[in-house]
Structure 1
Amino acid sequence: MAQHHHHHEPEGPALADAARTALEKSGEQWTDMRSSIFAALASFDKPASAYDIAEAVSKAQGRRVAANSVYRILDLFVGANVARRVESANAYIANAHPDCLHDCIFLVCDTCGQTTHIDDDSVSGNIRSAAQRAGFSPIRPVIEVRGTCADCE
């Protein structure tokens, strides 16, 4: 049976608080730069590249922020479940529920770029099982479904 569950999606300060808590639980500090990068990431309505985020933070701070620095922080965010990486787009989205651990299932619109994250543990569980039967040890399944969102149909 598919295990779906829905979350109240925090926004703004509540989302930043959830991200800070998750990052601190992972043993990392919530610095001003990390806060700025998370705020920029959360402000995008579509997955954002490190360059998009670096540009937004640079504009907000009035000084240049290097994309390499942003990549390092984004990798840290992904490791702490604060952000998710949309592999096919080499872009990132803020994780609206960083306290929950699920494999990623992304619905990516080829028309507008909107990306929706859904949780369905039965789908990702089947993928993990198939990988294990093939002698593969899955660490982090990421499933991306490309298509057209309801707004673009």
Structure 2
Amino acid sequence: MAAHHHHASNGDDLTRAAQAALVAAGEQWTAMRASVFDALAGFAKPASAYDIAEAVSITQGRRVAANSVYRILDLFVGANLAMRVESANAYLANSHPGCLHDCIFLVCDGCGGTTHIDDDKLTGAIRGAASDTGFSPVRPVVEVRGKCAACA
């Protein structure tokens, strides 16, 4: 596998890396965006906008609408702070927001766990196949559904 390596952040380091990446993308790091990112980063599995809205609502002591969270999540995906698991309509915090890469997800149908892997050879081939047809790929997302080792 032609993988690339990067430093994965967590906790306060992840929040600082996300904030720096968002500001570098020309966006503001607002209190609401920080709350949504903190909630997203707190989930061990991909979380829906509704899950995140509920977590932020509890933290802030007021109701936060899922449509507001969706807008912020779209911004986060565009700025590489979050990754969207398309088949689950759910999101994961990107543990290395400074590294732009394509997404390959291994999604367990048993427990719902999702593992993100990098394989530049595979995604390069996908980009190449798309380009060969005249299509301009922006960011391939590959999802493989099955069972993780614990559920198999």
Same topology, TM > 0.5: yes
What is the Cα deviation at residue 134 of structure 1?
A: 2.1
Q: Secondary structure at the match of 2:137?
A: coil
Measure, in 1, the Cα distance between the counterparts of 2:13 and 2:132. 41
For 1:47, the equivalent position in structure 2 comes to: 46
Pairing 1:63-74 to 2, within 5 Å after superposition: 63-74=62-73
Q: Which runs of 4+ in 1 moved over 4 A?
A: none
Q: Which amino acid aligns with 2:3?
A: H
**Please, what is the CA RMSD of the aligned residues?**
1.0
For structure 1, which segment, 70-79 or 133-142, has the greater mean C-alpha deviation from structure 2 after superposition?
Answer: 133-142
Q: Which amino acid aligns with 1:20?
A: Q
For 1:62, the equivalent position in structure 2 comes to: 61
For 1:119, the equivalent position in structure 2 comes to: 118
Measure, in 1, the Cα distance between the counterparts of 2:7 and 2:123. 22
Pairing 1:34-113 to 2, within 5 Å after superposition: 34-113=33-112
What is the Cα deviation at residue 26 of structure 1?
A: 0.2
Pairing 1:1-16 to 2, within 5 Å after superposition: 2-16=1-15
Measure, in 2, the Cα distance between the counterparts of 1:17 and 1:3. 29
Q: Which amino acid aligns with 1:151?
A: A
Q: Count residues with an aligned counterpart.
A: 152
Q: Which amino acid aligns with 2:98?
A: D
Give identity over the alignment, percent.
72
Q: Which amino acid aligns with 1:58?
A: S
Measure, in 2, the Cα distance between the counterparts of 1:134 and 1:5. 27
Q: Which amino acid aligns with 1:94?
A: A
Pairing 1:14-29 to 2, within 5 Å after superposition: 14-29=13-28
Measure, in 2, the Cα distance between the counterparts of 1:31 and 1:134. 41
What residue ranges of structure 2 are gaps of 5+ in the alignment? none
Measure, in 1, the Cα distance between the counterparts of 2:14 and 2:110. 28
Q: Secondary structure at the match of 2:74?
A: helix
Q: Which amino acid aligns with 1:129?
A: G
